[in-house]
Amino acid sequence: MSAPYPVAIIGVGNMGGAMAGRLLDRGWPVHVCDCLPARSQALAARGATAHANAADAAQAAKLTIVCVVDAAQSQDVLFGAGAVADAMHLGHTVMLCPTLSPGDVEAIALQLRPFGLHLIDAPMSGGPARAREGSMSLMLACPPTVFERHRALIETLSNKVFRISENPGDGARTKLVNNLAAGINLVGAAEVLALAQRMGLDAAATLDVIEQSSGQSWIGSDRMRRAIRGDLVPRAHMTLLEKDTRLALQAARDVGFDGPLGARARDVFAQASAGGMSELDDAALLQWLSRDAPPG
């Protein structure tokens, strides 16, 4: 296994910060940058090198992990003012972790080529706790040579690595399918617990049954336990699954697929966000669907 080398992480919020903590604990030199400097400084106190701009962080690294929110932020970080792509050295690698449309990933891969940079299409799933312990899922699309070059880093970040293909965009496609399933499952879990409460049942006791029966889902258990406690501090903002389900439905339209559930789940996340829950954890769907005047 190769020795640890400098890694930059651009965007150290919930997931990026958890990944940085994981790498630091295992002896990797980590350079960080975030639009909120306090996040970088918190990691600097644990041994990371904090930078005021993304280009400086990337220039110091062999691989740069982009862990921002969406395509616009990814484009800005990579190719905007103070561009990461300009700062990185020939032959180095960008690991692109946000949930993006396949077309956006393909476009970024093409844009990186003139800079002599490799791309790992690497969306992730599992939440900050699993990222911190190295058990999140990584869905990778990249050439085998690039994977082998960075195998040690990838396997430090995750013990659930799925090599999808060599084609940029296939990681994104896999993530969107997964996140559409997550969104459908979460809406379903919130709906049935809201119904249980309306029937006069205890939500926690009902969830005990579901978790040991045919209705169990990981995201349902994870989010609904927090919702029952009233813990809506955002680990995953409502707007993230709003975005991801919207992107999944766009990808479905691109291939001529029209399923019965995805659009309804997308609409529920959009309505909850518009209804004042955008800054809350997506566990807040239980409160949203328990309201006296249900959405839609």
- Cβ neighbours, 10 Å, residue 205: 9
| Whether the Cβ atoms of residue 120 and residue 93 lie closer than 8 Å to each other | yes
Strand partners, 281: 237
Q: Tell me which fold the domain 173-289 belongs to.
A: N-(1-d-carboxylethyl)-l-norvaline Dehydrogenase; domain 2 (1.10.1040)
Backbone angles phi, psi at 162, to 5 degrees: -115, 115
CA distances from 5 to 1, 42, 195, 282 (A): 12, 21, 52, 36
Q: What is the per-residue pLDDT for 293?
A: 39
Contact 98, 68 (CB under 8 A): yes
Please name the fold of domain 7-166.
Answer: Rossmann fold (3.40.50)
Segments making up each domain of the chain, as ranges: 7-166, 173-289
Residue 1 confidence (pLDDT): 59
pTM over 0.75: yes
The Cα 65–Cα 30 span in angstroms is 10
**C-alpha separations of 137 from 20, 97, 149, 160 in Å:** 16, 11, 19, 5
Q: Where on the phi/psi map is residue 155: left (φ > 0), alpha (ψ -120 to 50), or beta?
A: alpha
What tens digit of pLDDT does each residue of 72-88 get? 999 999 999 889 999 99
The answer to whether residue 175 is catalytic is yes
Catalytic member of 62, 160, 175, 243: 175
Average pLDDT of the chain? 95
What's the pLDDT tens digit per position in 160-182?
999 999 999 999 999 999 999 99
CA distances from 89 to 63, 80, 119, 122, 147 (A): 10, 17, 13, 20, 18
- Give per-10-residue mean pLDDT for the chain (296 aa): 90 97 98 97 98 96 97 96 94 97 97 97 94 97 98 97 98 97 98 97 98 96 96 93 96 96 97 96 96 50
